[in-house]
Amino acid sequence: MAYVIISFFETVWNRLYILFSLILSCLAPVKTFYHIIVFFIVLNFIAGLIEDLKRGEKFSWIKFKTFLLRIIFYILSITIVFLFEKYIVGEFGIQSKYMTAFTCGLISLYEIHSFLINAGRITGNPIFGQIYDKLKEFFTKKYID
């Protein structure tokens, strides 16, 4: 009886392993975007923690929960846009990763902005805000005009 139960769970585990491997192989082209987003979020989270400690605040699990939710929803957003672009837009014969890269870029800019604000508050130096203003000005001139 025990052998049947162990054999059943082993079979289920092997099938799940194959399913997850197939899913990950489909998402392999956007792994770099995932890494970039997670890196920026972690950097921003660490800067936020340092700023909170500088102000005398204690560690908050609510902020950690928000950190984890941001990672999950950003990755889901990139995944949805990638799948849309690959399987819906790709049906029209257009093969690109522009929409996915644009989504990753917008998320990255938001995280960079937040990091620069935190860095400016930590150091008391306004240069970080000026860096963001120059980045924003560059993108506004180059892509919006």
Confirm if 104 and 36 have CB atoms less than 8 A apart: yes
Highest mean pLDDT among 73-82, 84-93, 98-107, 132-141: 73-82
Q: What is the pLDDT of residues 112-123, one digit of tens each?
A: 888 888 888 888
pLDDT the model gives residue 135: 77
Question: 3-state class of 95 per DSSP?
Answer: coil
Beta strands in the chain, from DSSP E residues, in sequence order: none
Q: What is the pLDDT of residues 34-63, one digit of tens each?
A: 999 999 999 999 998 998 888 888 888 888
Is the pTM above the cut of 0.85? no
Closest by CA position to 74, among listed 109, 114, 34: 34
